Structure formats: C-alpha cells, structure tokens
C-alpha cells in the first residue's frame, strides 16, 4: 500500500518536473509530535531559503497538522509558502485519536519499526478533535495563505485492507471516511480560501484531482509558483 502511494508521488514528481516545476519531497517523522516535526520543517526550509520562488506545499494526513504548526511557529521560514493543499489532511483530528490513545501509547508508540523512531503518545494527542479545535481557535487567523482540501472517502469495498476495522468504527458516525478520518475532519475549520473535491474511487490512497473552479488561478494552474513541496506524515 505504502509502495503504491510512493509510486504515485514519484509519478506526480516526474509529471511536474516535465512541466518546469521544481519538486522537493520531504518526509517528517510519522511518530513525531507536531512540535518536533515543525522544527524539522523549519530546518528544511532554512536550507532552501536561497531559492526565492513561491512554494505550493502538498501535505498528507498528519503532515498537514505538522505543516500548520510549522507555519505558526516559524513564520519567517514559512513566508515563501504561497498555498497549501491538504491531501486527506487531518485538519480537525479524528475520533480515533481519542478512542485509541491508551492502546497506542502502550503498544503502538514503542513498537519497533524500520526507519521510524519510537513515539511517546503525544503525536496522537495532536490529532484529538478537542486539541485541533482549540488550535484553530487560537491560531486560525495566523494562516493567511490559501488552503485547499482534497477529501478521501472511498466506497466501503475499496477501503484499504489495513484500515477496514477503523473504517467500520468511523462508519458508525459517518460512512464517508477513509479509515482514519471522517470526511468533514479533512476540511480545515478556518482558512482564507478553500476548495474541496471528493472522488470516491480506487483504494483509499487514491485521491481526487484538484478542482478550483471558483479560483481558476490557484495552485493547479499557476505558472509563477514553480516550487512544489510535498510533506507527508502518516499515523
């Protein structure tokens, strides 16, 4: 599954590069807290600060939470970001973060995984709905660039096998979920400009293409913004 996702990213990179975009792929720690990953992002953006071109950042899953934290904590390093595209982004957290926190902290956080440092449990607290709502209330006005949301909501028979159990759990609230996030929790609560497109097709890692009819000069067609920077953090 992850291999398929990475293959999709590579194809997107190749296509964008063929159109003249500079593509920078940066993966933050999957079991790192948003504060920790904000530091890593700040270091990464400082290292590329000599390139003055505006940046469009694609953030996947918890990567959106980490990116937003970075933008608030390090506004100078984030000043080149022209727009953010959330791909199944955990904008408002997930009920699963409440329900599974104790089990995750005891079993999931310390479980050894290749190329993935252990967590502490704080990374799941970052995804609790109450925490995310409080974050938007405190920092929402600080996010001044356009944020676009691509929502994942596959048909039940196309949900990733790895997330079918949690899909059924979330389906008790709303069947429109991707096994980790309810559809409405993938849409940021407070943004300057947002456009949402949902395409129910393929496995849950298949996402819809950008739809920006109301804002035709947004990231999908803007030629002046030549840097494309995906940020991914899964949980």
DSSP per residue, 177-207: B-SS-BGGGGS-SS-SS--EEE---SSTT--
Percent of the chain scoring above 90 in pLDDT:
51
Kindly report, residue by residue over 41-77, the tens digit of the pLDDT.
Answer: 999 999 988 888 899 999 999 999 999 999 999 999 9
Helix (H, G, I), strand (E, B) or coil at 48: coil
Q: Name all domains of the chain by residue range, CATH numbers in brackets.
A: 2-233 (3.40.50.1820)
Relative orientation angle of helices 62-73 and 34-47, to the nearest 10 degrees: 70
Q: What is the pLDDT of residues 1-22, one digit of tens each?
A: 344 566 777 888 888 888 888 8
């Amino acid at each position: 599954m992850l291999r398929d996702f990475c293959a999709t990213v590579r194809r997107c990179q190749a296509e964008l590069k063929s159109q003249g975009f500079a593509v920078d792929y940066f993966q933050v720690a999957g079991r790192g807290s948003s504060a920790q990953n904000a530091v890593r992002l700040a270091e990464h953006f400082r290292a590329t600060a000599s390139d003055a071109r505006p940046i469009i950042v694609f953030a996947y899953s918890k990567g959106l939470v980490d990116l937003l934290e970075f933008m608030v904590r390090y506004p100078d390093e984030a000043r080149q970001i022209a727009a953010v595209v959330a791909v199944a982004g955990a904008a408002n957290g997930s009920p699963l973060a409440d329900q599974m926190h104790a089990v995750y902290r005891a079993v999931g956080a310390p479980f050894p995984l290749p190329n993935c440092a252990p967590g502490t449990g704080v990374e799941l607290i970052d995804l609790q709905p109450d925490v995310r709502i409080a974050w938007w209330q405190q920092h929402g006005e600080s996010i001044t660039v356009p944020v676009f949301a691509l929502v994942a909501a596959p048909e039940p028979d196309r949900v990733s096998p790895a997330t079918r159990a949690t899909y059924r759990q979330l389906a008790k609230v709303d069947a429109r979920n991707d096994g980790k996030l309810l559809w409405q929790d993938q849409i940021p609560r407070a943004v300057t400009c947002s456009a949402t497109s949902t395409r129910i097709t393929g496995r849950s890692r298949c996402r819809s293409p950008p739809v920006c009819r109301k804002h035709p000069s947004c990231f999908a067609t803007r030629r002046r913004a030549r840097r494309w920077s995906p940020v991914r953090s899964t949980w």
